[in-house]
Structure 1
């Protein structure tokens, strides 16, 4: 009888405890119960027994010792850290880059998971690779409709390039450029096919049909001979569509050729030998970083010559620190100061002629590098500026060389030779009808003060096509043509940057991806990045890059550097078709062989990787304003 009474009492207590807690997953109910099932506002604290009014929200504030409505106490912090711990563990185990967790899509995923509550299930591998990938492709296509409207209004450019993946499969891609940015259209595996002119033409023709013939103004590619052959085929079928050479590639060829002139090549070789010596040994590298306050003299660039320019600039900026290093007691005590290469490095740094040569090189290269910055970024269409900027660069180079013809003639000849039939097309020159005189004389809307004031500042935020849309009503034909031309890019480098997305997705662990799935993944990732681009920092220097492969020949000795044009051998002779048309990566980012380098007398401390310290992003455009370099600045 007694046992049944106890059992009944326990049953009643259990039932009462159940009724005194709300049916909620809120964490607050772990620390409080209702005083009365009929008074839902009064809650009793299980830790101290105090009765509070305000429901579960008040009990959480009471536990965390918070007054008011801000819940930021012990419970919240404990549970938040638990979630962060799981996120970090996932990142560590799966080797996910930390910056991936800064994306808005990750924050949205966290919010959706929290709103769902306990029991949420993650998608299966099949769902991620098929079901939801296809849904995301459709969603991205829907978000790109605003780009399609821009293509119809102001026209667009088709860009194509080729790449070889980790399984030695050749992949070609198609991108579309407009004032809104670059859109990845599609890719195609072509491992079994030769990259002939006909093959490239057919692929480009497919892209033109997808975008709409009436919307395409030009096709932009590098200067490879098979691309130039495809341009002739396109001109026969579609004479209204231009095929233009990549301005970034062409300007890089100019800079490389100028850099091969003996008087400039001597300085580049000296600078390269200096950086190779410093980076070859841990002791010299650590000594250099000590004197430069942990700043590097080698700075990666987006192209091979951009890197050379940035490194020369870096050397010039650290001239005082480097001279102090090679004159210090630490250098005298260093064993590498006694070897032949150490003595050569010391002679180079303490030589007045070397630093005058660096200044002269920078003054000659800087005008073209400024144009390279203009054409190698996606923030602003450059077609309307590139020709005029090159003419300006030529005059600046002449002035830098004291306006003496024998000093600048070889340089100007190189620029004009590379420009011919590449950067002097009607699109670049923009020679138009008699309506142009109205614009030159500032008649009608062109002469109004608001129109003149609107174009006073020509920076990255100034949209010249919009200016013509607003103030070109006095010359409607000229306005229509100007809006299309001034919305065009002059470079295909944005298409080549697409390969970094391929490389991120097609890693060694994921090299079994089918080409169709790889295409869908790149389509989603590349175009999703485009949609978020407006939120990114626009002040990032365009020439500074992160591809360390381009710096290897400045820190590792005896690396071969192939700077010949596609379709030509080292003697500028035509290559065999099969040889010239091999599957390739972009001509803009030539690959380097990773030869092993053993530092002299320090094999046990061989440097395999170099972590570059931050050296800022500012690129100076004018050099040696207070230094006279004379009529013949560098003796060859």
Structure 2
């Protein structure tokens, strides 16, 4: 293998050799090419390299330079000594400390790992005289250094962004304290955790939250050196946070946009309250619980499931049974789908004569035993003829309550069999899936990082035009009620910025506006311009430019609209700023608005991974730094795809009718898999263990937020 230094990564962007190199993007030639010349061409001269591409290149270069020396040292220590060739470059104690800290913090390892003999042997093999850093050193100086390095990387990333949005979400964490996390998002950046604040004994009122968020905004504006760097606040739809957003809109001139995905979740909640929908969910939930709480029966279901999958590889349904998650109402659709689509597997179990005989005999035995226990208790009570003490009363009440809760949670074999043998349940289940499937699909789109704010308006336009609700063939009364719910939720979520975003999106047709929303969106330009502090002259100019842009869009042919729509809206307005000098800044700020606070909600999953019940004695500041390092180091620095065209995002399935209703599911990314009791202790297969099912939400973290505080 030839010796010498490794070839620089910059050469992969060029053709040719050192005498003459050609840029693969602009085809420009560099004579007497050297690494410095090539990098100067990439970072300054090449017009085809965007700011985001250059930032990503700088990040990769810094990452490579940082690790080149330690890797070379390790290689020389291990392979050079074995060959007896050349001088061995020793790894210093500081180098080892940095490698260990990056491994522990970056991978979310337990801090006690550094005290494990096997880990110490691995780190110290072939390195005499060195020692693994202690836990005290790890959580002290090394944690501070790693945090400072990661924070500096975040600042360098923010310096490349024109504007950012702050998404916030509040939860009760493992040690029962209340906390709020702040996640930064933007069209050209991955979601990055900025900080997590513990509220302590303070009451979470709207004024308190507005002051807290305002302080975060001031910090970010000061870091970026730009007074209006933070332009958007995206809370979840808790009343306190929305009220805090209203305060910030009035006092700071920013945009406060509710969570579009959460609004659709609430829409599903409204729909499931209808008797025709709720009854089907109740039966599907009971049937799924019946299997998941019985280990032997679940194993029998898996056997049927695998058998069907082998017989019909292409069309077999591959998902297992699932349960709804509290406050994640789309998971109710997943529950219904998992039961209805697994009909063959479920029926196969209940048509097994051995299974039927086994469970009938078992339930008969349980009823007999229960009757004997009841008779025995009555006899003992009559013999004593003494009133029960308060303690015994409480014990009896507790027992009765526990029994009632267990009865609500599970059903008998006869009840489950009645559901399975009812053909109307399966038929109605498929009908219930149809009106829910387009809403679940839209939730998945809006929770995507980089989804354009114009997609919120497009989402509700598509739902209102959907034939399932406007011209239903089945469940007509239910479909009419669903359409009413859609209109109410849209009225709750709709803001001036959403209408302007749809108006200024080059890929949107102005004819798609509903009712008088077109004129309202144009007038909203004046309202938003005033909020942003425009002068009267600039407001009038922005209004004229908005009208001019819309007329240009109306003149486009479909081919021209498709061509212009290839560019994300944020980038389109940046490229055409010379034609709309008063409007382009407003457009770029509006297209910075994310469609949901899903990034902030997902951050709690990381928080629970780092701050678990086994690590609940760590100091809040230590937890904050550990979560910050782990989240941002694993988030990546690439530019996310901007979702501004549903048809492209769904691979040609932009319209809901292109997608099979029965194949639409949304993964629960932040639900907890809590353990549920295995059923009656008398039942041999129900007491063998705890079956993991979706039972709580957000890993046991409780949401807070109300007008009066918490």
Distance 1:519 1:291, change over 3 A: same
Instruction: State which of 288, 310, 314 in structure 1 corresponds to 2:301.
Output: 288
The secondary structure found in structure 1 opposite 2:412 is helix
Consecutive unaligned residues of structure 2, counting only runs of 5 or more, are: 1-75, 86-99, 114-118, 222-226, 308-318, 364-410, 502-520, 523-542, 644-648, 651-663, 695-710
- CA pair 472-439 structure 1, distance change in 2 beyond 3 A: farther
* Residue 160 (str. 1) matches residue 163 (str. 2): no
Match of 1:516 among 621, 626, 630: 621
How far did residue 383 of structure 1 move? 1.3
Secondary structure of 1:370's counterpart equals helix
- 2:562 is aligned, of 427, 445, 452, to 452
User: Which residue in the other structure is 2:287 paired with?
Assistant: 274
How do 1:407-486 and structure 2 match up within 5 A? 407-430=478-501, 431-432=521-522, 433-442=543-552, 452-453=562-563, 455=565, 463-470=568-575, 474-486=579-591
**In 2, Cα distance between equivalents of 1:197 and 1:337:** 59
C-alpha distance in 2 between matches for 1:25 and 1:189: 46
* Aligned 1:153-552 pairs, distance under 5 A: 153=162, 155-179=163-187, 180-212=189-221, 213-238=227-252, 240-293=253-306, 296-298=320-322, 304-336=328-360, 339=363, 341-378=412-449, 380-396=450-466, 397-399=468-470, 401-402=472-473, 406-430=477-501, 431-432=521-522, 433-442=543-552, 452-453=562-563, 455=565, 463-470=568-575, 474-531=579-636, 543-545=666-668, 549=672
Please state whether the residue corresponding to 1:245 is helix, strand or coil.
coil
The aligned counterpart of 2:52 is none
The count of corresponding residues between Structure 1 and Structure 2 is 470
The answer to which of 402-411 and 221-230 deviates more is: 402-411
Determine the C-alpha separation between the residues in 1 that align with 2:132 and 2:555.
Answer: 60
Bigger mean CA deviation after superposition, 500-509 or 193-202: 500-509
Quick one: distance in 2 between partners of 1:482 and 1:237?
Answer: 21
Q: 1:235 to 1:437 in 2, by over 3 A?
A: closer
Deviation for aligned residue 1:446: 6.6
2:138 alignment partner in structure 1: 128
What are the superposed Cα offsets for residues 28-48 of structure 1, whole Å, 9 maximum, x if unpaired? Answer: 988xxxxxxxxxxxxxxxxxx
CA-to-aligned-CA distance 1:65-87 (integer Å, 9 cap, x gap): xxxxxxxxxxxxxxxxxxxxxx9
Q: 2: distance between equivalents of 1:222 and 1:502?
A: 18
Shift of 1:443: 6.0
Question: CA RMSD of the aligned region, Å?
Answer: 4.1
String of CA shifts for 1:249-300, please: whole Å, max 9, x gaps: 2211111111111000010001011111112222221111111119522268
Give the Cα–Cα distance (whole angstroms) in 1 for the partners of residues 78 and 193 of structure 2: 45
Instruction: Indicate how the Cα distance of structure 1 residues 402 and 518 shifts in structure 2: closer, same or farther if over 3 A, else same.
Output: same
Which string of whole-angstrom CA distances, capped at 9 and with x for unpartnered residues, describes residues 214-262 of structure 1? 0122211122222233233223312x21222222222111111111110
**2: distance between equivalents of 1:302 and 1:473?**
50
Q: What are structure 1's unaligned runs of at least 5 residues?
A: 1-23, 31-54, 58-86, 101-108, 457-461, 557-595, 614-636
* CA distance in 2: counterparts of 1:183 and 1:429, whole angstroms: 27
Query: 1:604: how far off?
Result: 6.5
In 1: Cα distance, 2:621 partner to 2:488 partner:
42
Structure 2 CA distance, aligned partners of 1:283 and 1:237?
A: 61
Specify whether residues 402 and 444 from structure 1 end up closer, same or farther in structure 2 by C-alpha distance, changes over 3 A only: closer
- Report deviation, 1:516: 1.7
Q: Report the secondary structure of 1:606's partner residue.
A: coil
Aligned 8 A contact 1:299 1:307 in 2: yes
Is contact 2:257-2:495 (8 Å) kept? Answer: no
Residue 137, structure 1, aligned to residue 242, structure 2: no
Offset at 1:351? 2.3
